[in-house]
Structure 1
Amino acid sequence: MNERPPIATILALGLTQIIGYGTLYYSFSILAPDMARDLNWSTEWIFAALSAALLLGGLSAPVLGRAIDHFGAGRVMTAGSAIAATALVACAYAPGKAGFITALIVIEVAANLVQYGAAFALLVQASPRTAQRSITYLTLIAGFASTIFWPVTTLLHTHLSWQNVYLVFAGLNLLICLPLHAWLSYGLARGEAQKHSSTAQTIEGCLAPESRPLGFMLMVVGFSLQSLVSAAILVHMVPLLSGLGLGATAAIVGTVFGPAQVLSRFTNMVLGGNLPPLTLATVAAALIPGGVLILILSAPSVVGAMAFALVFGLGSGLFSIVTGTLPLMLFGSDGYGRLQGKVMAARLTVSATAPFALAFAIAHIGTMWSLTITTALGALAVVAFLSIAHLQRYESSLAQKAEV
């Protein structure tokens, strides 16, 4: 009998993911210029601070992953909302550069506690057998984070200082996300009690134990390269398009990205239900650098920039899904939180330098060369996922020979 995904859980997580990504990630590029001015830094150095925070936040991910398995994702996300709100307030009131960087580091640690990695683990813990569908539904809702929060942040910033914008965002995390995560934690705890009174349902991974170390390494390389490109482009999306001569239309072009993410997730939900996560991962790995290539070849065309945002958004939308479903398919549901922690650590450690690196590269070798290098790195992710497919075929051939 087919189980139904936990719709109420998905809807609640969808709202908290929109707020979590919008307040802790997408808003930064809009507020960064004024942050740099107030701290008497260049824009490059403000993004260097973000890169350092992402790096240290990434190094904490394995510990957070173990905490998710031990305490439950709901409790971890509840604590994460409180930490996120506190860190945003601390960032707003930071007396100087050292205080600002410290608060920014705590923000990135909190982000790991409340964003996709923890949310996917909650869905796996709540219902392992429906987790793949649940993750697709969740990313469909959360795809509106950039579409909502880029213009919202811009609008707020026309009336408020960046410090006051962060105070508003702290309120959203404290008054909306924290109660929802606490409610989800309570429901998950009740579900765990019911599981212990019956037979627990788990998902087995499709990779053989002897192939898992190589499969994990290839998966992490693929995800890390995609994260590198995504982090570099997304953090700089609006200023990057402005720098290519799109001017005031940059923000409008940027709003294509969010709906494109939703479109890819909706298409996958309706038409791609039978496509394995590895196929989706390979498609996403091709679309992300493909979108950047379109931008390189078409700039400063507005139509070309719209096409870039569309293709890049399609790839990013699928990427968000497969970061949750591919580890589940390859390695199973047992210890999923710990596994996600390791994947997040590798991804964030590699991609932490992306915002600063792209800002530095644009300033010294120009936008076009910077984007060309970014595209080449992104294309290598396709090779990593094709290698996993080859590994699966090799396992299958060995199994067939053993049967003969």
Structure 2
Amino acid sequence: MTPAGSERPPVAAILALGLTQIIGYGTLYYSFSILAPDMARGLDWSAQWIFGALSAALLIGGLAAPAMGMWIDRFGAGRVMTVGSAIAAVALAGCAFAPGKAAFVAALIAVETTSNLVQYGAAFALLVQIRPRAAQRSITYLTLIGGFASTIFWPITTALHAHLSWQNVYLLFATLNLLVCLPIHALLARGAGTSGTGEKSGTAKRIEAGLPAAARRPAFILMITGFALQSFVNAALLVHMVPVMLALGLGAMAVIVGTLFGPSQVLSRFVNMVFGGGLPQLTLAVISAVLLPAALVILLLTAPSVAGAVVFAVIFGLGSGLSSIVQGTLPLALFGSEGYGQRQGKVMSARLAVSSTAPFALAFLMGNIGVSWSLSITAAFGAASVAAFLAIRPLMRTSAPAQTALAREP
């Protein structure tokens, strides 16, 4: 048993990482939708082509994620994130200075590939490497802070873009990654190096796998399938939430209702932080997966009711917020801290590969079979993710005592 002091979450590291996650997600992902129309005009492209380029960049970034996960295990997450911050700055500047479409797409691919080095997957691994037995709580706290990225950066990007070109906004964001994120990641890399992972500080600080060896491969396949299907639903609705509600007849209220999504994400993480400490991570995964299709069913059954749309946005936000936590904690609970970075890379690869197609797929479906049928199919994908997570439970029966002990770790 490790001393109680060593099991406390590293608060300073979590706060510092929270800042870099807000900047990382805000500059590398959330700002794009605000700047995309101006990008399209400058490159003489349609908006569809610009978002198509983003989808391609996300897909390629997803394919590169497993290799990056191996780097995290080999070199340490802190070092990888430090280098990632420098590359992110260069990639954003590359987009700003791109002389044409091909150069812009290449730089955008670099942006979305580099995001794997500095966003949640790498940050979760860093928390595991700093203090493994506190990692589950640490990940929950980090996602609570990171949940404010869109709330902060959508208005910041909009305000900046009112006075600056999209190129200058990207150059400013490159500076943030270089002057704020890079030094923080470098400092945390030193802390991780002294705290160590299991290899450096002995097996006492490791988290052991909650599954027997024979069950790990099928459980991993089921887990990746569940996360991928969940990411499809989440990504499809995130891009099309307001257009979907407009198509269902909510009118001007669609935009107002859509703003409830972000606060609901943060609320779910806060509730889990306060009350979910003793909840097994697989149970939390099932709950998060159930909420997404349930929200879609409510929207379909109640449209064009504003009250129904509000319930939809809140429940969908709760499910999305919990899923961000589970993507970090479930692999740790099921498979332990050994090789965590590589597993995270594989999870990210599957999620990004599937979610990169989601906005286009939902737009195509809505254009050909209508909104109601499109949402029904999307809800079916969500239900399939629930089934995938539920199928893991029988594999855990032979190791129930180990899993119960792990679920109670702080």
Question: TM-score scaled to structure 1, two decimals?
Answer: 0.92
Find the counterpart in structure 2 of residue 312 from structure 1. Answer: 316
Aligned AA (1:50) = L
Find the counterpart in structure 1 of residue 283 from structure 2. Answer: 279
Find the counterpart in structure 1 of residue 150 from structure 2. Answer: 146
CA distance in 2, matches of 1:336, 1:231: 25
Displacement, 1:254?
A: 3.2
CA distance in 2, matches of 1:239, 1:378: 20
Find the counterpart in structure 1 of residue 63 from structure 2. Answer: 59
Contact 2:291 2:315 in 1 (8 A): yes
The aligned runs of 1:190-201 (5 Å cut-off) are 190-192=194-196, 196=200, 201=205
User: Which runs of 4 or more aligned residues in structure 1 lie more than 4 Å from their structure 2 counterparts after TM superposition?
Assistant: 197-200, 238-251, 394-397
Displacement, 1:246?
A: 5.2
Find the counterpart in structure 1 of residue 388 from structure 2. Answer: 384
User: 1:328 and 2:328 equivalent?
Assistant: no
Find the counterpart in structure 1 of residue 164 from structure 2. Answer: 160
Structure 2 spans left out of the alignment, 5+ residues: 402-410
Find the counterpart in structure 2 of residue 210 from structure 1. Answer: 214
Q: CA 1:23/1:376 → structure 2, altered by over 3 Å: closer, same or farther? A: same
Choose the corresponding residue for 1:270, options 248, 267, 274: 274
Displacement, 1:81?
A: 1.1
CA distance in 2, matches of 1:133, 1:269: 7
CA distance in 1, matches of 2:185, 2:121: 14
CA distance in 2, matches of 1:171, 1:292: 40
SS of match in other structure, 1:274: coil
Contact 1:50 1:355 in 2 (8 A): no
Contact 2:131 2:197 in 1 (8 A): no
Contact 1:147 1:255 in 2 (8 A): no
Identity of aligned residues (%): 68
Contact 1:44 1:360 in 2 (8 A): no
Find the counterpart in structure 1 of residue 186 from structure 2. Answer: 182
Contact 2:231 2:355 in 1 (8 A): yes
CA distance in 1, matches of 2:362, 2:303: 18
Contact 1:146 1:255 in 2 (8 A): no
Contact 2:222 2:392 in 1 (8 A): yes
The aligned runs of 1:2-401 (5 Å cut-off) are 2=4, 3-192=7-196, 196=200, 201-241=205-245, 249-393=253-397
Per-residue CA deviations over 1:38-94 (Å, capped at 9, x if unaligned) read 333333222221111111101111110010011110011111111111111111222
Displacement, 1:309?
A: 2.0
**How many residues align structurally?**
397
Aligned AA (1:341) = G
Displacement, 1:238?
A: 4.7
Displacement, 1:133?
A: 0.7
CA distance in 2, matches of 1:31, 1:212: 43
Contact 1:48 1:355 in 2 (8 A): no
Give the root-mean-square deviation of aligned CA atoms: 2.3
State which drifts further: 352-361 or 68-77: 352-361
Aligned AA (1:190) = T
Per-residue CA deviations over 1:376-404 (Å, capped at 9, x if unaligned) read 1111100001101122236669xxxxxxx
Find the counterpart in structure 2 of residue 400 from structure 1. Answer: none
Displacement, 1:179?
A: 1.4
CA distance in 2, matches of 1:311, 1:367: 19
State which drifts further: 90-99 or 243-252: 243-252
Q: CA 1:173/1:50 → structure 2, altered by over 3 Å: closer, same or farther? A: same
Per-residue CA deviations over 1:174-227 (Å, capped at 9, x if unaligned) read 221111111111211222399846665111111111111100000000000011
CA distance in 2, matches of 1:50, 1:88: 14
CA distance in 1, matches of 2:235, 2:305: 23
Aligned AA (1:53) = A
Aligned AA (1:329) = A
Aligned AA (1:331) = F
Contact 2:282 2:389 in 1 (8 A): yes
Contact 1:145 1:258 in 2 (8 A): no
Contact 2:257 2:309 in 1 (8 A): yes
Q: CA 1:96/1:245 → structure 2, altered by over 3 Å: closer, same or farther? A: farther
Q: CA 1:362/1:339 → structure 2, altered by over 3 Å: closer, same or farther? A: same
SS of match in other structure, 2:196: helix
Q: CA 1:362/1:134 → structure 2, altered by over 3 Å: closer, same or farther? A: same
CA distance in 2, matches of 1:335, 1:303: 46
State which drifts further: 347-356 or 148-157: 148-157
Displacement, 1:371?
A: 2.3
Contact 2:94 2:107 in 1 (8 A): yes
Contact 2:125 2:341 in 1 (8 A): yes
Displacement, 1:321?
A: 0.7
Aligned AA (1:270) = V
CA distance in 2, matches of 1:361, 1:193: 46
Find the counterpart in structure 1 of residue 405 from structure 2. Answer: none
Aligned AA (1:151) = P
CA distance in 1, matches of 2:370, 2:100: 31
